[in-house]
Structure formats: C-alpha cells, structure tokens
Chains A and B, each alone.
Chain A
C-alpha cells in the first residue's frame, strides 16, 4: 500500500533519466539519419571499412573465444597459489585505458618490442603490428580475459556432484568432455562470441591507434576521418548510420543468444576433479595458464617499466590534461550513479512487468550505441547553436556516463530490490520517506554497489579515447588524447610516462570508489 504521491516521487527522476538516455541514443541517431547523405554516397573505401569492421570483429572474437576455452578449463580444474589473483586480474582489462594497453602491446609486439628483439637474434625480420594484425592482437588482449571469465563461469556452473558421479563411473577426461563440458560450451560460447564481436565493432581507440590506411580502417575510424580531416558531416552521418546498423544487429543477436551473466557464483569454487590427474593434462593446463598470464602481464609490466623514466619528462601540459581527465571522470561517475539510482528506483516503483522492462531496457540502450555515433549526432545538433569544441569535456563526461550505465544498472537494480525486500517494511513502519529514506536506508545499504559503479564509470572515462577525439579542443586535451598525440609524434618516452600516469590514475580511481563503498559497509 505504498502511498501514491510517494511512488510518484520515486518515479520521476528515473523517467527523466530514461528520457535523457533515449535522447542521447535515439535522438542523436535521428539527427544523424536526417543529416546523412543518400545510400549511394558510400564509396568503395567506405565499403572496405564495413568489410574490415566485420572481418576484424569476427576474427578477434573467434580467436579470443578459442584461446579462452583451454585457459578457462585449466583454471576450472586446477588450484594453485595466485589463482585468485590471476582470476581478479582477468577483470582488469575492463578498466584499463585502451591507449595504455596499446602502448604496452607496442612495447612487446612492436617494431622495437621484445618479440622483435628475439626475432632479431634469429635473423628474422621484425613483426609489423600496425594494421589488421595489431587491431586483432589488441582485441584479443582485451577480450581473452573477458571470454575466459565467461567460460570459467560456465565450467563452475556444472554442479560438483556431476563430476563426482562421473568419477564414480570411471569417466576419463574424454568422456567427461563429451558428457559434461561440451554441452556447457555449446550453451556458453555463442553468447560469449557475440558479446566480444559487439565490443570489437565499437572499439574506436584500438582502430585509431593501430589501424588506419585503406586496409585497416573501421567504420568508426572512417567517421572520425570524415569528421576531422574532410569535415564532411553528411558523410560522417551516413557512416554513423551504418555503424548503428552494425551495432544494433550484433547487439540484437547477442541478446537473442542470451549472454551469460558476468556475476554469478564465486569464481573460486573448489571442485575436485578426479579425471584430470594425468601428468600430461597437468602440463598442458600449466602451459595455458602461464601463456595467458604472460600475454596479459608482459605488456602491463612494460608500461610500468618504460613509464617510470618517462614520468620525469612530463611537463605542465600533461599535468593539466590529467586534471581535466580527473574532472571528466568524477563527473561521469556522478552522472552514472545518479542516473542508475534514479532508474533503479523507478523500476522498483513501477508495478507492471512491461513497464519495468521498458524503463530498465532504455537504460541498456547504450550497449548498442557507438560513442562515435552519439558524438556525431550531438555535434550535428550542437553545431548550429554553439561551438561544439567548447563543450568537449562536458559531452565526454555525459557520453561516458551513458556508456557505463548498463554496468551500473546491472548491479544497482537488483541491489535496490534487495534493500527493499530486507528493509522496506521496516522503513515503511517508521514513516521513513523521501530524503530520510534515501539518506538513512538506501545510500548506506547501497554504498558497495554505488562505489563499484562510480569507480567503474570514473576509471572508464578517465581512460576514454572516443567521443573526446571528435570534439577535441587542441588547447584542452584529456590525458588519453594527450598521450595519443605524443605517440603520433613519436615522443615515446613522454608517451610512456603519460601512459603510466594514466594507468595509475584509472586504477586508483576505481580502487578508491570501490574500496570506499565497501569500507564501513556493515553487513
């Protein structure tokens, strides 16, 4: 018997947030569509960009998933010291700034990188990282960990009792694969593949840093080039429409395939595996774990190692860029949390299933949105009114906040429901409404998921190199943009210093908020 006025009060902020998200995604899309040139306007190079976007996403997703299966299997059936740390580390690429990872990958796989160095001893030519290889390599670097986590969850969702039963029947590893593991993989792999495919179609920063040229330009990169170099808004808009179609179809497919949940049971469950005691299998698993750990840790270690000397060479412009990035990150964190909380309260206040689904669904719209498309639309809308460059930073914060909204909703909607189930009656019986309820019930009870969401949004926007590249003001760059410019100018020492600074700040932001939310959170 919630009071009507009361439930309206909980509804409004969420509806405003939903309207804002709809305007940013669908509204900008409309602006893009109205501005786009006819379909005949797609040149052969545009078609090449479309082909490359799909091809690299397909190859990246296929390699990520294929490599993730043995790694996940090894992690699922082995216990060893440091396993927990490694599993945690698998989540790290999520908050790792793309441009920093690219720098680390260059240090390992680049022309003067470690691998080329080894090749040189054998008299082989160095590897070329720029172009399709590089784009795929970076995508695998980012998505192999994600795929591993998703598949590992699949493995751990097989009840321990099944393995016990299999052992009592004398199953060999081969029998177990056929009866237990293959059916699980069949259910998990398509979703994991599709999620990674979607991510790879919208990873502008990777394409910007490692792609380019006629054979390795993605649609997003083509939008950027039409924008920055040709200043052809009509063409940019047309390409943005193409990008949206790719995203929408891919995201639709991913949802239809039912993406495995990211959270789920703990990843450190202990399952006794009687089938995997053969030394050969132990060696195989060790090799995969070691290789995956090296592949992830080596580039990161290189960022740290080469960044330390570079830190000293950073000037005042890097410091200013860092301050701007922090401001953007904090703003994005605040907007994400405010919008996600508002939407979660609205979902909670609504009665009908369809209404709940609609409001929550709008919050998830940005999964299918490319920041470049949203940016193009915003530029088209803002251009007649004001100089878009002057609002580069607020727009960056807003778009980043929107991109992080799905992750925040994923944790906050169930968390709000949990708080209401646990303490809703108590709060009602004490007439705790409005601000008192927010201040003394929701915020304290939700501090952990709020801290996590804010940290995620802050870290992601700290390292973002997407929409800011479109709007960028040469005088007021953010740290990732500054770093990209240093790399483009081959000032690698400074770039390495900036990279270490950026990495440290992203991780620190996430850690501060996440930890801050959990400290003092009385169970």
Chain B
C-alpha cells in the first residue's frame, strides 16, 4: 500500500498537499488542470523533489528520504526514457545492472522481457531505428525487468497518436495486472482514465484528493473537475 502522509510540497508560491492511501495492485489515474502539480506529485513520490513536510510510505516503510533508484518503483518520464547511444537490449539491461555487466541469466531475462512487449528480434536496434511505439515498448520492457511493486507514468505516451496511445495503455494495464503492480499515471484524457484506471486522483487548487472510483467520479464530477473538463 502507498501512503502519502500529510505530504506538503512547496516551491516558491506553488503548494500541493496530499494525504491518502492507495491499495496495492490498484490502477490509478491522476487528472487535473495544467500546472496543478500532477507531475510534481509523481516527482515527490519518486524522489526527485523533496517535500517540505510529510512522509511517503510503501507497505508501512518510510521512503521519504530514499534515493530515487532505491525506491520500490519504476518511473516512466514524458521523454528521455531511453539512452540514444545504447541498444534496446542495453537500455532494458540497465534495469537489472546499471553497470551493464550481464551474466547469462540476466541476458535471458532481458530478451524475455523484450519478447513479452513484442520486440523479439529488435534487441540490437538503437532508439533512432525504432518507431515511437517501439520505443515506448522498450521502456515498458525495462519496467518489467525491474519488477518493482509500483509503476509511475508521467504521460509517456502523450506524443503518440490516439490509437497507439490506447494500445500502449492497454499493454501497461495488462503488464501491471499480471505483475500485481500498483499503477499511478498522469493523464490529460478522461477516456484514458476510464479505460484502464479503477481509481482516479484529482489534483486541483493545491490539493491531490484521495482516489475515487473513476466511473463514479466522471458520472458525477465535483465542481473542480467540471471546470477542468469544461
């Protein structure tokens, strides 16, 4: 279970507070107007932005001060998720060995993960030789080999076309369910949330509200969400 305990994030005159729990294995979307702090919330959970006060806990363990790479999560950024100078294989392998020194078992794990996201045979391609969708799949293969209990998505598929974006979201949902991972994803599209997220966190007016069932939320949106949806 992810617990945000009286979390208070401040930067200059920006402020965001969060105080809620998210069950293990839940698939949750984060929605809200631009600049409300959706990405900042993910940054605080993943360790790139230190909260002014409050704690982040996973399964009861305080991870507020853990280094980003030590946290029980994998994060996928908006862009720059792959190193352009490394092959698909190496980019995934970084998830197991940051030194890239792989033994036979590691190599097999990496190849299996790539096959599982449908990239068998493309192991030696560099990102420039892959399509946008394939690049996203490489990133997801790395999420797989890391096998951390939480997956955070900071709108990584925003630059893809609508059909491809949906395809990727379905893949993410499928992988997360199969691994029993907890998913937190930022999105601009209510349809995305409705498609794969059981729960939705609304970030607006300086508060990240506790997760609500997505269906109920969008059937009868609160005023804040209504203003955003228009």
A residues adjacent to B (C-beta < 8 A): 1, 3, 422-423, 425-426, 428-433, 435-437, 439-441, 444-445, 520-523
Contacts and interface: CB of A to CB of B under 8 A. Distances in A.
B67 A3 contact: yes
B150 to A, nearest CB: 12
Contact of A430 (B49, B84, B98, B127): B98
Contacts of A439: 99
Nearest to B48: A425
A433 to B, nearest CB: 7
Given A425-B68, A431-B68, A521-B85, 14 more contacts: A1-B49, A1-B65, A1-B67, A1-B68, A425-B80, A426-B80, A428-B47, A430-B69, A436-B100, A445-B83, A520-B85, A522-B84, A522-B126, A522-B128
A444 B68 CA distance: 23
A318 to B, nearest CB: 41
A429 B73 CA distance: 9
A369 B135 CA distance: 50
A29 B81 CA distance: 49
Contact of A428 (B65, B68, B94): B68
Contacts of B81: 426
Contacts of A3: 67
Chain B: interface size category: 20 to 34
A9 to B, nearest CB: 14
B46 interface: yes
Contact of A1 (B47, B98, B126, B128): B47
B95 interface: yes
A343 B128 CA distance: 32
A441 B80 CA distance: 12
A517 to B, nearest CB: 12
B83 A440 contact: yes
Q: Which of A430, A431, A441, A522 has the most CB of B within 10 A?
A: A430
A429 B68 contact: yes
A7 to B, nearest CB: 12
Nearest to B126: A522
A424 to B, nearest CB: 9
B74 interface: yes
A308 to B, nearest CB: 41
22 contacts: A3-B67, A423-B83, A425-B77, A426-B77, A428-B48, A428-B67, A428-B69, A429-B74, A430-B95, A437-B98, A439-B99, A440-B83, A440-B86, A440-B94, A440-B98, A441-B83, A444-B83, A444-B85, A445-B83, A520-B85, A522-B85, A522-B126
Closest 9 CB pairs of A and B: A431-B69, A444-B85, A522-B84, A432-B98, A428-B68, A436-B99, A436-B98, A522-B85, A429-B68
B201 interface: no
Contacts of B46: 429
A284 B83 CA distance: 51
Interface string B186-227: 000000000000000000000000000000000000000000
B166 interface: no
Nearest to B142: A430
A520 B49 CA distance: 34
A431 B67 contact: yes
B1 interface: no
B42 to A, nearest CB: 11
A81 B162 CA distance: 46
Contacts of B75: 429
A52 B140 CA distance: 69
A37 B47 CA distance: 61
Contacts of A440: 83, 86, 90, 94, 98-100
Contacts of A444: 83, 85-86
Nearest to A521: B85
A422 B94 CA distance: 17
B70 interface: yes
A441 B99 CA distance: 11
